[in-house]
Each structure stands twice: as structure tokens, then as C-alpha cells.
Amino acid sequence: MLKHTTRSLWLLFVPMLLVFTSCNDDLLVEQPTDRLSPTNFFRNASDAEVALNAIYAGQQRIQGYSGGDAGVANVWGMHGTDDIVVPPWTNPPDRRLIALFQLDPTINAFYTIYQRHYQEIARANTILNQISLMTEDKIDPEEKARILAEGRTIRASFYFNLVRIYGNVPLETEERTDFTNLDFTQADPAAIYEFITSELEFAVSVLEPGMNTGRITQGAAQALLGNVYLQMAGEPLNQNDKYALAADQYESVMGMGYNLLDDFESVFSYQNELNDEGIYIVEHDGPGQSLDNTATSNLGSFMGPGGQLPDGAGWGTAWANSELEMEFDRDDIRRRVSFAYHNAPNVQDSTRGPNQFLPWKWQKPQVANGQSWANDTPFDYVYIRLAGVLLGYAEAEIRSGGDIEAAVAAANRVRARARGEASADEFLPDLTADMGTEALIDAILKERQKELLYEGHRKGDLIRTGRLIPLMSDFDCSFSAVCPGRPDPKPHHIYWPIPQRVLDLNESMTQNPGYEN
């Protein structure tokens, strides 16, 4: 676990935090109040490891369901998709506006997410640069390479978020020691993707396979690289040659010993974390283990059944897409895990109408340890797991003209788990090669939505397949008791706008097309 080292590390590196959020007024350049500095802290391998933990801690503020409505999986990956319905009373209104595609550059969430990413990138740049300068008398070269590979993978994951969310963003990879020029220029998305893939290729070449850990392993870096290639192969880059590269990365990960758990619910249990299915995991140790609410996990509370938090309920600011719920076979074991049908604690009793179903998955107990886990839960965020890799491989292998039989076999492993002890003759029949390419791709994408529901991958899938705008243009949530209105997506909404506060303070930066006025 990282909590003790991470907590002390946050305190240690606050004085050297370089917050280049593309706004001069917000740049924090504080002088250290003690004698520690980047140049004298890194004395040995232990110091490098402690510093690396600060980069790990940065993930808690960015990935998953981070505190302060800033988790990428939640705010970007799920809002503005057909996974959920956002009630009209949601306050602050940012998530509702995102769901409706009323994407104004002044929305606070746009700036918060942008700012946190560059805060953590600045921290990572400083740490990685200082570790790279450590000589052999301070650290063994192999250990140094491993630490750098882990840190560079995490930094690459931050840029993977930024390039998908905002498109044209600054690409800062070096430690900043000169603050006379703080105007940042934007890089083309293709250049950012080139940086990401080169970082991950380095990490894959250095790291060793590993399981049941929150550390970055070869499998974590390679699975992320597969996701990056899959995104590059689709819109807006349309680099179709990347499908084969994605399939290759996924296939390697599939051979590393990860396993689908028999019990789907246990994949998301806080009592069964770091299990055999998880590949890239962002650990959380709540409640009460973070310095502030920006690093807390809202999994288990952001969504969940109605009722009172001490009974295991959620906040009620996200409701289920009941039409999607009806697409699940009644015996699909994922359905009962993914939807709550009544108030806590009697969530399995379907006494509420379909228009009142609520999203679930990370299931809180009743009054755990004397408190209700309101917004600081111990649930880890599993960024990448084997089921996603299997489905990603199946899609990429088919799209690249590869082995269709191997592709459907991978997808069928996920469907077989969803059937539980039932056979393919009863429901969820196996996919077959004779279905044809288009039908297979559609079936795999639908399987991804059901399997990875609420895990933050839906928006990226819809964008890369060119389906976000047409699907959300037709998304009518009037089936829900809390429909806030009909979304109005436009073609330029595949990216969020550059936050207005960033543009106001950086004349060299330009707004994304479609948001100029």
C-alpha cells in the first residue's frame, strides 16, 4: 500500500510544485521553507522510490472518480454518453451541462481537470528529470530504469487523457527552472500521441510482468499502449494501421497470466482488490487517508441505490439508462451488479419503476466502520482489466484483418463469464466468424458497453468509432423520471473547449474550432 509514503511525499513536494496551468496568475513559485530542494533530495534509490510515489499519488487526483468532480472516468468518460441520465437538480451544474452538450469554455470542471493534469505533469517532469540525473553511485542503473519507466507510464496516461479531452494542448516534458517565459504553445494531437507511444514503448521494454499490484508493470504499460493504439486507429486521427499494433499489445497482455474472475461482482469489491483481473489499478486507501478531497475516491457513493448513505446508498446525481438495462438478458450476471432496483439496503427488490433505476457496481456496505463513506471511499479504480483487453483485442484483430477465430474466442470468454453457469444455448450465444465483420464489430462494441459500464471508457469508444454525435443526437431520455432535456451535440464536441481562464492568460494559445464565440 502507498498511503504512508504518499502522504509524507505530498507534504515534501508542495514547496517545489510548479503549477503551469497555462495561466500566469495561477503559477505557484514558492520558495522552499526548509533546506530540501530537487537538487539535494535525490541522494539514493530510496529517495527516488519515495519521489516516484508522488507521481503515483497524482493519479488519485485525476483518474477514476476523483474528489471535486475531476475524475476523468466519471466527468469525461461517462457524462455526455448513453451510460447515465443526469438529473436537472445536479449542483453545481457542470455535469448536467456536459451531459446536454452545453459546453461553454467557462465551465469550472473543464478548468479543474485541465489544471490538475498540468499540476501533476509538472511534478512528474521535475521528479523524472532529477532521477535521470542520478549517477551509478547513487542508484543501480536497472532500478533507475524501472523507476523511470513507471513514472513515464503514468505521465503518458495523463497526456492520453488530455489529448482525447482537449485535442490541442501544450506538450511539456522537461523540468522548468526558468520562469521568465510562461506562455505555452499547443502541440498537434499527432505529436502528443507520438510522445505517448514512445514513452510506453520504452516502459514495455524495461518493465517486468507482474500481477496483484497497484504498481505499473509491463502488463499495465502494454495494455495502456494497446488502448492508445486503438484510439489512434479511429477518429479523429484515423491511423488504421494502428489496429494491428493494438491487437499485438493486447495479445501479449493476454498471455501474462491475468484471469477473468468467476464472480463478476467480486471484481469491484473493496474486499477483493488487486485481484487477478486487474491490470492497471489506481489505489485508494480512504476514508481519511488523503490530505484533501482532491485525492479521494467517490466510487461507491457517486452512484448507487436510493436511500441514505449509511445504508449503502449513493448521492442520487446519476440515474440509470433504463433502456440500456432492458438490453441485458434477465439472467446476465452483470445486470444485477450494474443496476440498483430499490432503495438501500433492499436493492435487489425491484419495486421501483424502470424510470427510477439507478446505476451501481461498486457496492458499499451498510455503515462500514462507523461511517457512511460519503465521498471518501476505499474503492480502488481499476483503469484497465482483462475483460477490456479481451474485447479490445477482438475488435482490433478483426479490424486489422487478422485471425477472426481468435478474435471471437477472446470476446466469447467475456460473454461466457456473463452467463454464469448457463450455457450458450440458453442466452448470450457465442459470437461466430460467419456473422460478418460489421455485425461482429457491432456486437463487440455493445459487449464493451455492458461489460465496462460506468468504468470511464464509453466516451472514448464513441469518439473513435465516429458514433458519439449521431448516437447522442438521437438520445431521448424521456424514459427517465429525471430527464434534464435532450442533448444537442455538434461535430466539434468530440473535444471539450480549452478553458477560458487558460486562454485569457495565454495569448499564444487558441481555442478549439467551434468554440471561438
Domains contained in the chain, CATH given:
1-190+491-517 (1.25.40.890)
Over residues 122-147, the mean pLDDT reads 97
Q: Is the per-residue pLDDT at 457 higher than 70?
A: yes
Q: Any idea which residue has 419503476 for its cell?
A: 353
Percent of the chain with pLDDT over 90: 73
115 Cβ contact partners less than 8 Å away, ≥ 6 residues apart:
19, 21, 26, 499
Q: Are 104 and 98 in contact, with CB atoms under 8 Å apart? A: no
Which CA distances in Å does 423 have to 28, 333, 415, 429, 443?
60, 13, 10, 8, 19
Q: Which amino acid is at 204?
A: V
Q: Which amino acid is at 376?
A: D
For 169, the 3-state DSSP assignment is strand
Neighbours of 102 (CB within 10 A): 14
Q: Is the per-residue pLDDT at 179 higher than 70?
A: no
Q: Residue 320 — φ and ψ, nearest 5°?
A: -80, 155
Total residues belonging to the chain:
517
Distance, in Å, from the CA atom of 103 to the CA atom of 487, rounded to the nearest integer, reads: 11
496 Cβ contact partners less than 8 Å away, ≥ 6 residues apart:
76, 103, 110, 165, 166, 512
What is the pTM (predicted TM-score) of this model? 0.92
Over residues 22-46, the mean pLDDT reads 59
pLDDT of residue 370: 60
Positive or negative, the Cα torsion across 382, 384, 386, 388? positive
For 317, the 3-state DSSP assignment is coil
Q: Are 2 and 56 in contact, with CB atoms under 8 Å apart? A: yes
pLDDT band at 16, cuts 50/70/90? very low
pLDDT of residue 36: 53
Convert the pLDDT of each residue in 277-305 to its tens digit: 999 999 988 777 776 778 888 888 888 88
Closest listed residue to residue 21, CA positions, set 172, 209, 154: 172
- 323: which 3 cell numbers? 433502456
Q: Is the per-residue pLDDT at 2 higher than 60?
A: no
Instruction: Round the average pLDDT of the chain to a whole number and report it.
Output: 89
Convert the pLDDT of each residue in 53-91 to its tens digit: 999 999 999 998 887 778 999 999 999 999 999 999 988
pLDDT band at 392, cuts 50/70/90? very high
Q: Is the per-residue pLDDT at 24 higher than 50?
A: no
